[in-house]
Amino acid sequence: MTRLFRGGFIFWVLFRYGLDELLLTSFQKPWLHAIARIVSIGRNLDAPRGQRIREALESLGPIFVKFGQVLSTRRDLLPLDIADELARLQDRVPPFDSDVAIATIERAFNKKVADIFVSFDREPIASASIAQVHFAVLKDRDGHAREVAVKVLRPGMLLAIEKDLSLMRMMAGWVDGISQAGKRLKPREVVAEFDKYLHDELDLIREASSAAQLRRNMAGLNLVLIPEMFWDYCMTDVIVMERMHGVPISQVDRLRAAGVNIPKLARDGVTIFFTQVFCDGFFHADMHPGNIQVSIEPATFGRYISLDFGIMGTLTASDKEYLAQNFTAFFRRDYKRVAELHIESGWVPPATRVDELESAIRSVCEPYFDRPLKDFSLGIVLMRLFQTSRRFHVEIQPQLVLLQKTLLNIEGLGRQLDPDLDLWNTAKPFLEKWMVDQLGPKKLIDQLRNEAPMYAKLLPELPRLLFDFLRSNKSDQGRAMDALLVEQKRTNRLLQAFLYGAIGFVLGLVVMQVIVRVRVF
């Protein structure tokens, strides 16, 4: 019943904001336009369409807000007025009451806000679907004042998310049961992945830990800044972190006026993404413009600033290797190798013909090579690849759903920064170097260095372990020989019995023959 009511509420919100009318008028059929005019009678639908869509998503809750955030980066797929309005979902979701935020902080630390902070801004600086952020000044253990950002979880988030996830699970079950094509999409597994990431995002301690890990990973890259976490003030529903000073990456004109090299910024974004994915296997999976700023401070001028680490993606060593090989072969236009890798990884049935899959991939990808972002859409390329995958029964990999989402975010970001960016040629050298590092002598030396402590511990024990093995092996051989002798004796007795029986049978035949001849004579 809960899912039924939630489904009814969703349809009511869509009707309330006139999204049914927007859908009908998007078609070119005159009779559909007539139906749209009829169903809009008695409703006030004067607000711009982008505003209506944004307000509907806000009313439906955090999952739908996140969907709108992803759509806002796809200016190649959406009209600009809708994309601009949905961009407000990135950090301008209506905030909750500051008194509630203060009460949450005081409950988490069992202290008054005035006892923790020198000053605290009641007005939130940013408000998103899961939490909102307040600026403050913290007095640390040494008595120094530090500018900080305080992130507070929205109240009642768990219940709101569970309702939508329950509905998504039910719909996934429908899709899974419709046909084999539905099973290939693995809807249950995809929803389970989404479920895990959303629940992770509700635990701000986990977010702080992810930020600390990413900060260590990116320390030597000198392209991105990650805020420091103040662990004495990190709880499940409140975290306190270093305040970052930067310009939102969506304000390209302001960045250009400050002297930031925008084309380099776009290339650096690609480098950061591929470093996180293929070198570390741990990447920021919510990279919409509301979570990214650019530093214009002299010491860190032109560097990215990453914020909001609630959704992080991870890849296994196997996933990284297959993805890197796929990308490298793709950038070399070696479509046969791409097809072979899909079969080797088990993503397509083993009986798939390599030449047919190769031809299909080539027909999708070849038209888009050597073209800047402004001349094609990665979203459309992925859509065509998805259609091809359906033909060849490619299994959806749930662990890669976040990576696909993030790749679309990166493309949308690159399109805003530098439409002339050549995504392929920017990424190709990085991936080729990564492949050399994975297969070259440096990788072997690193592995030996990492395993040296284990070898050092094992070496003194080696003579004893060898002696024990030989003794155990000798004992095993002895037991095997005894068993073999017993079996041999048993076999000999069977052979003797068989031989005696055969001799008796032959003698019996001879005696009978003699008796018959005697009677004849």
The set of residues, in sequence order, having a beta carbon less than 8 Å from that of 320 and lying 6+ positions away, is 277, 278, 281
What is the enclosing helix (H) or strand (E) of 469? helix 462-520
Q: Output the CA angle 163-165-171, nearest 5 degrees.
A: 110
Structure tokens at 218: 């990116």
Burial of residue 336 (CB within 10 Å: 0-12, 13-18, 19+) is middle
- Asked if residues 265 and 314 have their Cβ atoms less than 8 Å apart, the reply is no
- Asked if residues 373 and 420 have their Cβ atoms less than 8 Å apart, the reply is yes
- Per residue in 71-82, is it b (16+ CB within 10 Å) or e — as a string? bbbbbbebeeeb
What spatial distance separates the first Cα and last Cα of the chain, rounded to whole Å? 105
Q: Catalytic pick from 91, 164, 268, 286? A: 286
Catalytic residue check, 422: no
In whole angstroms, give the CA distance from residue 213 to residue 304. 17
In whole angstroms, give the CA distance from residue 390 to residue 357. 12
What is the enclosing helix (H) or strand (E) of 139? strand 131-139
The set of residues, in sequence order, having a beta carbon less than 8 Å from that of 214 and lying 6+ positions away, is 226, 276, 282, 284, 306, 309, 312
- Asked if residues 139 and 240 have their Cβ atoms less than 8 Å apart, the reply is no
In whole angstroms, give the CA distance from residue 350 to residue 333. 23
Q: Which residues are annotated as catalytic?
A: 286
